[in-house]
Structure 1
Amino acid sequence: MNPLIRPRRLRTTPAMRRLVAETRIHPAQLILPLFVREGLTAPAPIEAMPGVVQHSLDSLKAATADAAAAGIGGVMLFGIPSTRDAIGSAATDADGILNRATRAVAAEVGDALVVQTDLCLDEFTDHGHCGVLDARGLVDNDATLERYRDMAVAQAEAGSALLGLSGMMDGQVAAVRDALDAAGRTDTAILAYAAKYASAFYGPFREAVDSQLTGDRRTYQQDPANRIEGLREAGLDEAEGADVLMVKPAMSYLDVLADVAATAQVPVWAYQVSGEYAMIEAAARNGWIDRDRAIRESVTGILRAGAGAVLTYWALELAAEGRV
């Protein structure tokens, strides 16, 4: 045999492989999730996520300055209050931890990267659900939308440029867009967690935000068995005015990500969640996988499936010289 077509010619050297690579990781495509906890005076390690911490306000500002210097696209802020109640009052308090942190970060790096905030009640409620509960203990969709409206205005006024609607309530994008526009915040953008699944891979995140949840969120987050439903949810959010659509988690839902990316008329992102991070870190610490290659391969796969940007806890590491 003497085949005329030899694809291996384009794999012969590192330089050749780099030259013909179809998917590349650029710092501007990376968004770093950050946690800030009220009352801390120094960063507190998160045991389930080696290398990730809950920040104090001061360490958060330093971390976002590093993010800006690295040239990544943005940071996503999550707040952990010292007190919680049934309706998540701290979420709409102008002096609540997330809004205070947003003001500080926007002043520090708001011109260098996109300051984004998580718009959800789960960190702020004493029951750990993403919404207000009714008399039966179930999440009340429409009462929750009223809280989201108030949260949106509070976060926009604090300086958030992009609100991450992660609660999976029906009609949340339309409600928030209406509230922002009524408050004169027409320039504040909405990132809709459009296809967010009830995933086991959120486990380490529960520690990161000190979640008070008992039970699960399967009545509002999507069933992992359903692919078409993800596309439907994304279409509804886009029609309601979402500026960006999110698929979460990334790894187990690359098919949904590809579906949404193929049809959406707005940018589509994905979140490489805490469990994805923790699995690679744990396996690498045991010597079972090559850590650097696994990190790059996992993020490349998300981009290859159609994500325009990726929320990943490795954002700074990937953006560092020699890795991108």
Structure 2
Amino acid sequence: MSEFPRVRPRRLRATPALRRLTAETRLHPADLVLPMFVREGIDEPVEISSMPGVMHHSLSSLPRAVEEAAAAGVGGVMLFGVPLEKDAIGSGATDPDGILNVATRVAVDAAQGALVVQTDLCLDEFTDHGHCGVLAADGSVDNDSTLERYDEMAVVQAEAGSQLIGMSGMMDGQIGSARDALDDAGHSNTALLAYSAKYASAFYGPFREAVQSTLVGDRRTYQLDAANGREGLREVDLDIAEGADIVMVKPAMSYLDVLAETAATSTVPVWAYQISGEYAMIQAAAANGWIDLDAASYESVLSIKRAGADAILTYWATELATRLQKGLIR
């Protein structure tokens, strides 16, 4: 018998072709969703300083960016509106002529059915206090009054053409309430994406700039505690029971354990959001020459897919999809 090992796992790593043939996880352009910010009052794209490469789009620059994403094979775009004026109840969110709803119509026209136009449903972009809901007299977020605003938003977004509404506010009962409102308004085919396991995270920082947030304080009374994995799974189960078509874990990077457990048990598709801080950290390290941007961005998204995500929201969606299409990722 030879003194050398018979079992050599390295055999399957010997060439690019062998590695490709035996890969356990594959990333496809259609697995990717591009978050996009559309800002009122600008005529051309403006780069977000804490998220290099990510833009505040104008209504005139939005169509081309949507078309580029579609041409790259990206599965969808998730739209966020950045209004000029904000108030205590986020009135702009339910104005059919508000920035998000106008942008939705523009994106639907540009996409021509080649990708799914999705909209974020939350009040934080539209409220002057920066919270995700209506405030009670004592300054706390009033869950049930907020649900009424969410229901109105859901219907307006569906009427603007959103095919999938991202319920990101983390109010108790939001999925069931929005589902009833949509069905009653004749939008039973509009799908709901539940931001089910959405954690209060330090990695949201750059997003605050992206939506020009005026938040003072934090959102720990309604977003999940970073210490709690089982609680995230409970939220997933509740949202599925209320009628969620898709559930999501957010952020992705620090919560891959929650993502993997969710994917192992969920009866509906499971998505994950690679958030602004995750993106910004890699961009910053690459800008300093410490890591390779192309390799690190791909590896980071692939890890989310490997953990069980059926689709990933990532600010690199168009770039990654383009490289995948051209066979530039090995």
Report the secondary structure of 2:309's partner residue: coil
Query: How far 1:323 sits from its partner (Å)?
Result: 3.7
- Aligned partner letter, 1:211: S
Task: Kindly tell me the number of residue pairs found equivalent between the two proteins.
Answer: 324
Report the secondary structure of 2:119's partner residue: strand
Q: How far apart are the structure 1 equivalents of 2:74 and 2:55?
A: 19
CA change 1:215–1:323 in 2 (3 A) is farther
Q: State the percentage of identical aligned residues.
A: 71
How big is each residue's C-alpha offset from its partner over 1:254-293, in whole Å with a ceiling of 9 and x where there is no partner?
0000011111100000000000000000001111112111
Instruction: Tell me if the contact between 1:92 and 1:154 (Cα under 8 Å) persists in the aligned partners.
Output: yes
Are 1:59 and 2:64 an aligned pair?
no
Instruction: Tell me if the contact between 1:91 and 1:121 (Cα under 8 Å) persists in the aligned partners.
Output: yes
Report the secondary structure of 1:257's partner residue: helix
Instruction: Tell me if the contact between 1:317 and 1:323 (Cα under 8 Å) persists in the aligned partners.
Output: no
Query: How far 1:63 sits from its partner (Å)?
Result: 0.4
1:322 equivalent in structure 2:
327
- Aligned partner letter, 1:219: T
- Counterpart of 2:43 (choices 41, 44, 67) is 41
Q: How far apart are the structure 1 equivalents of 2:84 and 2:274?
A: 27
1:267 equivalent in structure 2:
269
How big is each residue's C-alpha offset from its partner over 1:110-153, in whole Å with a ceiling of 9 and x where there is no partner?
41100000000000000000000000010000000000000000
Normalising by structure 1, we get a TM-score of 0.99
1:105 equivalent in structure 2:
107
Query: How far 1:14 sits from its partner (Å)?
Result: 1.3
Q: How far apart are the structure 2 equivalents of 1:212 and 1:276?
A: 22
How big is each residue's C-alpha offset from its partner over 1:212-255, in whole Å with a ceiling of 9 and x where there is no partner?
10100000000000000010000000000000000000000000
Q: How does 1:174-185 map to 2 (within 5 A)?
A: 174-185=176-187
Quote the RMSD (CA, aligned, Å): 0.7
2:310 equivalent in structure 1:
308
1:17 equivalent in structure 2:
19
What are the ranges of 5 or more consecutive residues in structure 1 without an aligned counterpart? none
The ranges of structure 1 where at least 4 consecutive aligned residues each deviate by more than 6 angstroms after the TM superposition are none
Report the secondary structure of 2:183's partner residue: helix
How big is each residue's C-alpha offset from its partner over 1:55-102, in whole Å with a ceiling of 9 and x where there is no partner?
000111110011111111000000001100000000000000000000
Q: How far apart are the structure 1 equivalents of 2:298 and 2:54?
A: 18
Query: How far 1:322 sits from its partner (Å)?
Result: 2.7
2:227 equivalent in structure 1:
225
CA change 1:61–1:92 in 2 (3 A) is same
2:96 equivalent in structure 1:
94
Report the secondary structure of 1:57's partner residue: coil
- Aligned partner letter, 2:201: S
Are 1:149 and 2:154 an aligned pair?
no
Normalising by structure 2, we get a TM-score of 0.97
- Aligned partner letter, 1:67: A
Q: How far apart are the structure 2 equivalents of 1:271 and 1:71?
A: 18
Q: How far apart are the structure 1 equivalents of 2:194 and 2:92?
A: 22
Q: How far apart are the structure 1 equivalents of 2:29 and 2:257?
A: 24
Instruction: Tell me if the contact between 1:120 and 1:165 (Cα under 8 Å) persists in the aligned partners.
Output: yes
Q: How far apart are the structure 1 equivalents of 2:71 and 2:35?
A: 16
Q: How far apart are the structure 2 equivalents of 1:108 and 1:285?
A: 33
2:279 equivalent in structure 1:
277
Are 1:120 and 2:122 an aligned pair?
yes
Q: How far apart are the structure 2 equivalents of 1:292 and 1:181?
A: 43
- Aligned partner letter, 2:85: T
1:196 equivalent in structure 2:
198
- Counterpart of 1:209 (choices 208, 211, 225) is 211
Report the secondary structure of 2:61's partner residue: helix
Q: How far apart are the structure 2 equivalents of 1:18 and 1:295?
A: 19
- Aligned partner letter, 1:179: A
Stretch of structure 1 that moved more, 11-20 or 96-105:
11-20
2:238 equivalent in structure 1:
236
Q: How far apart are the structure 2 equivalents of 1:55 and 1:290?
A: 27
